[in-house]
């Protein structure tokens, strides 16, 4: 399996995040829930990776494991999570906190409840920048670059020239609280503009309850982006929004792709969303990765019976169907998961070896991997 | 896209609109309005007391002690002393103008009450938020300590403490504070406990915010509303408790004897003359009642104002 991963790395995109053989279990009163059973995938620089599967298949657990945010009853049994080569699972609490602050950031499902209701949204974004010493030099550089851009475009006012000179003197020194505040606010406003919040100066001082769902989700995205993370984990970000706002947020994400250097892991159960903005897709089922492919390839040529079932169950307006097809059965209980391939009890193409052997993830075509015994293994 | 983003117009906002809505909520209820007026009046009297009352007012004048000269109220007491000049509330046992003495007593009582409530709030915030956020053994330890204090009746504990520590104003403050803080620890703890499970706290952790930042900048400000209500309510109750203790004689001698006026001691002093000069006990007692009532009504009103169901 690792050999295939290294083949991938040889392609034009370099790998930012690599999850290898990740096994996570939860200890509950009913028994041990084997939530993730050997999850392998990688995220390349600058791509949007879709992580799809039905509820309870381990998408969110994977994301939380990457951020080191699993609850206390969870245990990582095996595996590695490599962010540019360093294993996040081996980091101490403080190192993990730094990682979350600077390298991996989250956007959550429900923007209503994931923002502190009593602080203005702008101050909550700016606070992130003010809270850590690591951002100071970056803030100064950012502002200088911004002024330089303005200079080449339209020239600067005398005040701005003065500001640029003083900032250049400040480059490696500790900022005063006031100038830190001001720079953080300027950068926050800039990012609020980037996520297309209308009238950022006014929205900066508004409270979450004064904003619409779409605006709140933009605030969350700005909050995640302002730290310039390497990986952005977006967990069901469109689920709580209505369809028109969903489209806006997705378009925003698609447009941001060229402007930010973060790779995006988009967790969703909505294949429509995946087809719209993802580059590659990882399909998960019951704690396993069952298929990985480029998005066009996956939709044109789904190989795993689960993926085939998933695609067949999307209602299509252009084809008249009496009844929407569904995958029979339901997600297995992960306390005692099915033996061998976890999908075999529901699989229409199962044969005698399925309950006996756990299928490995095999590269069947370049860039298209599938974990199914039909294709070997 | 740009135009669509613009269409997502948010409602007109601002602190002013918020404040106006708060005032609207408060003025809707007549009792609350009365409470605010009484509380504001009390604070005003306390601030201006030493300006209104001349220093000479506290000088004894035994010649006119316990006399009455106010034609509006007739006490029907045969042996009543009549003051040489009209006085609104008569004179006390030292021959001083009772109204001025009551006015002088207000800042003393109010400042003691504010000190106690403010200290209890600070203690409650620190220990309550730590207990709620840390959980586990820290929580248990802090809670068991509050249990010990809850187990002993408040006034009794204060009396014991005053007896042991000595009868001074700081000790009086300390004694009442010691009986009062556990309530605030409990209150804040339960708020923090429910607040820390909210999704935005998880989001903050996911963003790499530190524990203290999450607790004191995000969780505590979200937990503070019931505390504002409780502390307002408690100003009234603390004034009542303090004056009770002074009434019972737990105060420095200059206060206990009524030389330095305090509402409890004025009442206590008047209780000796309850049949011959009832105004001496009625008016200081009434003042305690009005002040407590005012802060209680205001506290109830604030509860309405902060009620999230009316807000969001």
Q: What is the ipTM of this complex?
A: 0.72
What pLDDT score does A273 carry? 86
DSSP for B180-225 reads: HHHHHHHHHHHHHHHHTTSHHHHHHHHTT--HHHIIIIIIHHHH-H
Torsion of CA B284, B285, B287, B291, to 10 degrees: 140
A369 DSSP β-pair partners: A292, A363
Can you give the pLDDT at residue A293?
94
Helices (H), chain B: 2-7, 15-28, 30-52, 98-123, 129-134, 136-151, 154-165, 169-195, 199-206, 211-213, 220-223, 225-247, 253-256, 263-271, 279-306, 308-311
pLDDT top residue among A152 and A35: A35
| pLDDT tens column, B33-89 | 889 899 999 999 999 998 988 888 888 888 888 888 888 888 888 888 888 888 888
Chain A interface includes B55 (CB < 8 A)? no
Q: Is A181 exposed, middle or buried (0-12, 13-18, 19+ CB in 10 A)?
A: middle
Strand partners, B26: none
Evaluate if residue A321 carries a pLDDT over 80: no
| Chain A environment of B9 (Cβ under 8 Å) | 198
**Short-list A231, A193, A97, CA closest to B204:** A97
pLDDT for residue A4 is more than 70:
no
Estimate the crossing angle of helix B98-123 against helix B225-247, to 10 degrees.
130
Please tell me which of the candidates B8, B205, B222 has its beta carbon nearest to residue A116. Answer: B222
Task: Tell me, yes or no, if B197 comes closer than 8 A to chain A by beta carbon.
Answer: no
Q: Which residues of B touch A116 (CB under 8 A)?
A: 200, 204, 218, 222
Q: Which residues in chain B touch residue A114, judged by CB atoms under 8 angstroms apart?
A: 199-200, 202-203
Band (B312; pLDDT cuts 50, 70, 90): very low
- Kindly report, residue by residue over A58-104, the tens digit of the pLDDT: 888 999 999 888 888 899 999 999 998 889 998 888 888 888 888 99
CA–CA separation, A345 vs A327, rounded Å? 11
Would you place residue A291 in the very low, low, confident or very high pLDDT band (cuts 50, 70, 90)?
very high
So what's the pLDDT on residue A8? 41
Buried b (16+ CB within 10 A) or exposed e, B273-288: eeeebebbbebbbebb
A259 pLDDT band (50/70/90 cuts)? Answer: confident
pLDDT confidence bin for B302, thresholds 50/70/90: confident
Q: Which pair of structure tokens corresponds to residue B52?
A: 């209104």
Could B206 and A105 be called an inter-chain contact, meaning their C-beta atoms sit closer than 8 Å?
Answer: yes
Task: Scan residues 84-143 of B and list those with Cβ closer than 8 Å to A.
Answer: none
Does B221 contact A119 at a Cβ distance shorter than 8 Å? yes
In angstroms, the CA B81 to CA B77 distance is: 9
Q: Tell me phi and psi for residue B275, to 5 degrees.
A: -95, -35
Q: Which of A83-97, A140-154, B108-122, B290-304 has the highest mean pLDDT?
A: B108-122
B13 CB near a chain A CB, below 8 Å? yes
Q: What is the mean pLDDT of residues A333-344?
A: 89
Q: Is B76 on the interface with A (CB under 8 A)?
A: no
Q: How far is B18 from chain A (nearest CA, A)?
A: 11
Q: Chain A partners of B206 at a C-beta cutoff of 8 Å?
A: 67, 69, 100, 105-106, 108
* Distance from the first to the final alpha carbon of chain A: 11
Q: CB-based contact (8 Å) between B239 and chain A?
A: no
Which residues from chain B sit within 8 angstroms of residue A118, using beta carbons?
221-222
- Record the tokens describing residue A147, joined without a space: 């002024």
Question: Is A117 within 8 Å of B200 when comparing Cβ atoms?
Answer: yes
Q: Which residues of B128-149 are buried (b: 16+ CB within 10 A; e: fewer)?
A: bbbbbbeeeeebeebbeebeeb
Q: How far, rounded to the nearest angstrom, does the alpha carbon of residue A295 sit from its chain's CA centroid?
A: 16
> Do B70 and B90 touch, CB atoms closer than 8 A?
yes
Range with the lowest mean pLDDT among A42-51, A107-116, A189-198, B229-238?
A107-116
pLDDT band at residue A369 using 50, 70 and 90 as cut-offs:
very high
Distance CA A370, CA A363 (A): 6
Nearest CA in chain A to B198: A113
Give kind and range of the element (H or E) at residue A30.
none
Which of A128, A209, A210 is opposite residue B207, by nearest beta carbon?
A: A128
Residues of B in contact with A214 (CB under 8 A): 8
Q: Is A313 helix (H, G, I), strand (E, B) or coil?
A: coil
Chain A residues lying within 8 Å of B200, measured CB to CB: 113-117
Contacts of B218 in chain A (CB under 8 A): 116, 119
* pLDDT above 70: percentage of residues in chain A: 95
Chain B residues 202-231 with CB within 8 Å of chain A:
202-210, 213, 217-218, 221-222
**Mean pLDDT (chain A, rounded):** 86
Residue A280 to residue A267: CA distance in whole angstroms: 12
How far is A250 from A263, CA to CA, in rounded Å?
15
Q: Which two tokens stand for residue B41?
A: 């009046």
Q: What is the percent of chain B where pLDDT is above 70?
A: 93
Give yes or no for residue A368 having a pLDDT over 90.
Answer: yes
Give me the pLDDT at residue B91, please: 87
- Residue B295: what pLDDT? 93
A278 Cα to chain B: minimum distance (Å): 20
Supply the pLDDT for residue B75: 83
Tell me, what's the pLDDT at A1?
A: 40
Q: CB-based contact (8 Å) between B9 and chain A? A: yes
Query: B26 — alpha (psi -120 to 50), left (phi > 0) or beta?
Result: alpha
pLDDT, residue B239, reads 93
* Number of Cβ atoms within 10 Å of the Cβ of B75: 13
Beta bridge partners of A288: A285
pLDDT at A11: 45
Assigned token pair, B25: 């909520």
* pLDDT confidence of residue B307: 67
**Contact state of A69 with B221 under an 8 Å Cβ cutoff:** no
Would you state the pLDDT for residue B1? 36
The average pLDDT across A160-178 equals 79
Instruction: For B177-218, write each residue's pLDDT tens digit.
Output: 999 999 999 999 999 998 888 888 988 888 888 888 889 888
The per-residue pLDDT for B15 is 62
Pick the range with the lowest mean pLDDT from A179-183, B72-76, B165-169.
B72-76
Residues B171 and B108: their CA atoms lie apart, in Å, by: 14
Chain B residue numbers with beta carbons less than 8 Å from the beta carbon of A97 are: 208, 210
Tens digit of pLDDT for each residue in B110-148? 999 999 999 999 999 999 999 999 889 999 999 999 999
- Tell me the DSSP string of B73-90: -----TT-EE-SS-BSS-
């Amino acid at each position: 399996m690792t050999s295939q991963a290294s083949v991938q790395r040889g392609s034009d995109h370099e790998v930012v995040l690599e999850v290898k053989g990740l096994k996570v279990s939860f200890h509950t009163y009913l028994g041990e829930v084997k939530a993730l059973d050997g999850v392998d995938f990688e995220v390349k620089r600058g791509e949007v990776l879709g992580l799809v599967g039905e509820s309870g298949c381990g998408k969110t657990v994977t994301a939380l494991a990457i951020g080191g945010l699993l609850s206390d009853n969870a245990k990582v049994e095996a595996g590695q999570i490599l962010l540019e080569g360093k294993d996040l699972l081996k980091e101490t609490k403080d190192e993990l906190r730094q990682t979350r602050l600077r390298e991996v950031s989250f956007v959550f499902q429900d923007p209503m409840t994931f923002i502190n209701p009593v602080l203005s949204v702008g101050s909550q974004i700016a606070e992130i920048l003010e809270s850590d010493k690591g951002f100071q030099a970056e803030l100064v550089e950012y502002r200088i670059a911004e002024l330089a851009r303005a200079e080449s475009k339209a020239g600067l006012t005398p005040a701005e020239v003065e500001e640029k000179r003083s900032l250049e003197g400040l480059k490696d020194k500790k900022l005063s609280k006031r100038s830190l505040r001001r720079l953080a606010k300027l950068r926050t406003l800039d990012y609020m503009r980037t996520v297309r919040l209308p009238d950022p100066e006014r929205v900066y001082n508004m409270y979450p309850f004064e904003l619409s769902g779409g605006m709140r989700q933009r605030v969350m995205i700005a909050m995640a982006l302002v730290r310039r993370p390497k990986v952005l984990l977006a967990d069901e970000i469109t689920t709580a929004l209505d369809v028109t706002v969903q489209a806006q947020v997705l378009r925003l994400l698609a447009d941001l792709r060229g402007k930010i250097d973060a790779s995006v892991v988009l967790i969703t159960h909505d294949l429509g969303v995946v087809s719209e903005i993802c580059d590659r897709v990882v399909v998960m089922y019951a704690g396993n990765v069952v298929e990985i492919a480029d998005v066009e390839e996956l939709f044109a040529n789904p190989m795993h019976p689960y993926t085939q079932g998933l695609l067949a169950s999307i209602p299509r307006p252009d084809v008249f169907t009496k009844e929407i097809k569904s995958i029979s059965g339901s997600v297995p209980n992960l306390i005692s998961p099915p033996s061998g391939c976890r999908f075999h009890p529901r699989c229409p193409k199962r044969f005698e070896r399925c309950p006996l052997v756990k299928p490995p993830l095999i590269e069947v075509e370049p860039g298209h991997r599938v974990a199914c015994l039909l294709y070997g293994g | 896209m740009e135009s669509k983003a613009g269409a997502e117009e948010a409602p007109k906002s601002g602190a002013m609109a918020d404040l106006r809505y708060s005032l609207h909520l408060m003025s809707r209820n007549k009792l609350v309005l009365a409470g605010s007026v009484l509380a504001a009046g009390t604070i005003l009297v306390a601030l201006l007391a030493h300006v209104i009352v001349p220093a000479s007012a506290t000088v004894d004048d035994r010649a006119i002690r316990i006399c009455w000269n106010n034609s509006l109220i007739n006490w029907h007491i045969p042996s009543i002393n009549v003051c040489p000049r009209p006085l609104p509330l008569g004179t006390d046992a030292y021959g001083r103008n009772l109204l001025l003495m009551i006015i002088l007593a207000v800042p003393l009582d109010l400042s003691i009450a504010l000190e106690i409530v403010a200290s209890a709030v600070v203690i409650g915030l620190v220990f309550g938020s730590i207990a709620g956020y840390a959980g586990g053994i820290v929580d248990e330890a802090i809670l068991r300590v509050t249990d010990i204090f809850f187990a002993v009746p408040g006034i009794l504990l204060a009396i014991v403490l005053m007896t042991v520590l000595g009868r001074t104003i700081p000790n009086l403050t300390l004694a009442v504070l010691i009986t009062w803080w556990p309530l605030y620890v409990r209150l804040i703890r339960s708020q923090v406990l429910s607040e820390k499970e909210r999704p935005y706290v998880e989001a903050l952790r996911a963003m790499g915010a530190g524990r203290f930042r999450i607790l004191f900048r995000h969780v505590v400000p979200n937990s503070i509303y019931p505390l504002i209500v409780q502390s307002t309510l408690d100003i009234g109750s603390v004034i009542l408790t303090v004056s009770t203790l002074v009434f019972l004689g737990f105060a420095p001698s200059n206060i206990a004897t009524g030389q330095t006026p305090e509402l409890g001691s004025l009442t206590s002093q008047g209780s000796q003359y309850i049949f011959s000069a009832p105004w001496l006990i009625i008016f200081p007692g009434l003042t305690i009642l009005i002040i407590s009532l005012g802060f209680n009504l205001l506290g109830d009103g604030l509860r309405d104002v902060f009620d999230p169901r009316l807000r969001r």
